[in-house]
Amino acid sequence: MATITPHNGANKGDFAKTVLMPGDPLRAKFIAETYLEDPRLVTGIRNVYGYTGTYGGKRVSVMASGMGNPSIGIYSYELFHFYDVDSIIRVGSAGAYHPDLRLFDIVIGMGACTNSNYAAQFNLPGTFAPIADFGLVRKAVDACEAIGARYMVGNLMSSDVFYDDDPEAWKSWRKMGVLAAEMEAAALYMNAARCGKKALAIDTISDIIGTHEETTPEQRQTAFDQMIRVALSIAE
């Protein structure tokens, strides 16, 4: 049977209405096998794993996005447009800009600044401000409060550059109140806006930019538990 898209081997109906999207395919596998009941692999093209199962009686999917705005741009577009997905919740890592953020804190991305040219395709007569769905933001805040998680709500910086030629560029974003850097939220929010769907990025702080504090891969796998439980609890 021919696949619906070149990048996704799932059939129509294989995905739930809400999809959690970590960047790492192995983290998608870990989330599915650790948190979901009866997880079923629905796609594995290019080893970008997607699973569907249940959590607390709700049908939920999890699929990797890969790294960067272009990659999540492809996968989120296909989920929204071809698989009838209504909400995508990014669950990833971020580097802290804000001085009050600590390792393992949760950042709820109300908006996403970016240095990407992703919005150019929409031919807008100005600058578009990518924002999350407010209902998902509110639910995520309530979920963090309920479990006593440390969190902040505000702007993320979705960068197309990991190794920036200007090592001080992050300070310009920090002075504008941007909380943390990651690489996917802006494209996700733009795709959701374009097709009238819902999106939210929830990130766990994995390193502190400026002080070079960082978590180990082992710590990230276990310490991201709060973020994943928050995301699963707000899945619609």
Active site residues: 207
203 phi/psi in degrees, rounded to 5: -125, 145
Q: How far apart are CA 100 and CA 121, in angstroms?
A: 36
Task: Report strand pairing: 87-96 vs 180-182.
Answer: antiparallel
User: Using an 8 Å Cβ cutoff, are 80 and 192 in contact?
Assistant: yes
What are the b/e assignments for 53-91, b being 16+ CB within 10 Å? bebeeeebbbbbbbebbebbbbbbbbbbeebebbbbbbb
Q: Which of 187, 161, 228, 224 is nearest to 80 (CA)?
A: 187
DSSP code per residue over 92-136: EEEEE-STT--TT-EEEEEEEEE---GGGGG--SS----B--HHH
Q: How far apart are CA 216 and CA 158, in angstroms?
A: 22
Q: How far apart are CA 28 and CA 193, in angstroms?
A: 24
Q: What is the CA 69 to chain-centroid distance, rounded?
A: 11
